[in-house]
Amino acid sequence: MRIALNWYEVTLPTSELVVAVQTVATAQQGELSMPKSPRYQRRVVQRRGGTAIRLLHVTDVPPSGTTVETINTNDDPNFVKIAIEEGFALLLAERGFSVHRKHVGSTACLQTDESLWPAVYTFWRGLSFRAFYFFGTTGVRWGIVLNYVTSQRFCVTLKDPRLRALALGKSVVRVSDSHDSEEYDHRRSGILQSTNGSVATVDLGNGDPLEAPVGEWTLPCRRELLHEYVMQTQGQKAAAELTRRLQQAAFCLTESGRMNTALARSQVEAVQELLHHHDLGRIFLPLPARPPASLSNRPLTVVE
């Protein structure tokens, strides 16, 4: 029996990569201290050695103050993994995906026209992804874990009285981050404490609650919250239809409404369709030479 895993192999064109590197001396104060380095637009990987720290810049445009060095991929496989994940995220963004980075792994989705009530919520399909590596019999192998995902986002905000009542005491998120940094805290989520007319009081967890217009906040559109809102506004029958449609979109149910016994295969096929349709098989690593890496369109399989 052949079992397909959700790991898609990445093949590098060379075992040597050109990287922009910055060396920062550390202070000698009993033990090595971290350098105070500025924030960069792209990711920076720190490598400590002796009395200095090397900053490896994951970018194809070397910042000022860096030198270009060549590293062997087998000497620093974790850096290569990071470069692959960054390159894939950039490729997805170029293809029109909405990419959301997380501490571990990320998601990339495309908005669809499948919402039953477009004024209430939008519906998205896409991928979750995380690069990693392991040591195989022939050396280091890199790949990306890809999973099929669906999600929803509320179009209504806390201006809506029903959503406002539903959100009280729950976590709320900003509709957007396009606020004046001198007037608003840019924390993206908090607990809705209360509302007073057009003003919401949100606990950001820093001991200083924020007061902001209700139209700037909404609920995260989890399935159970969307179901509750639709049941209150559209009725129980509409809410049941919503649940059925969301389960079908995630391949948990078949088109006939039965439990999908081939769930894993359906989701693997959905990932493969996204890879093919959006031409995601060639990843340019965000390094000075922009080396192209190849992403397999078939998941790793093992034989039992």
Task: Look over the chain and give the mean of its residue pLDDT values, rounded to a whole number.
Answer: 88
For the ranges 40-44, 126-130, 181-185, the lowest mean pLDDT is seen at 181-185
Mean pLDDT of 127-138: 90
User: What per-residue confidence (pLDDT) applies to 182?
Assistant: 33
- pTM across the whole model: 0.87
Backbone angles phi and psi of 22, in degrees to 5: -125, 130
Q: How confident is the model at residue 42 (pLDDT cuts 50, 70, 90)?
A: confident
Q: How confident is the model at residue 188 (pLDDT cuts 50, 70, 90)?
A: confident
How far apart CA 189 and CA 173 sit, in angstroms, is 4
pLDDT per residue as tens digits for the range 205-225: 877 899 999 999 999 999 999
C-alpha distances (whole Å) from 25 to each of 37, 43, 213, 274 are: 11, 20, 47, 45
* CATH tag, 161-218: 2.30.30
Q: How many CB atoms lie within 10 A of CB 57?
A: 23
Query: Per-domain residue ranges for the chain?
Result: 9-75, 80-155+255-282, 161-218
How far apart CA 188 and CA 190 sit, in angstroms, is 7
* CATH tag, 80-155+255-282: 3.30.530
For the ranges 44-53, 75-84, 232-241, the lowest mean pLDDT is seen at 44-53
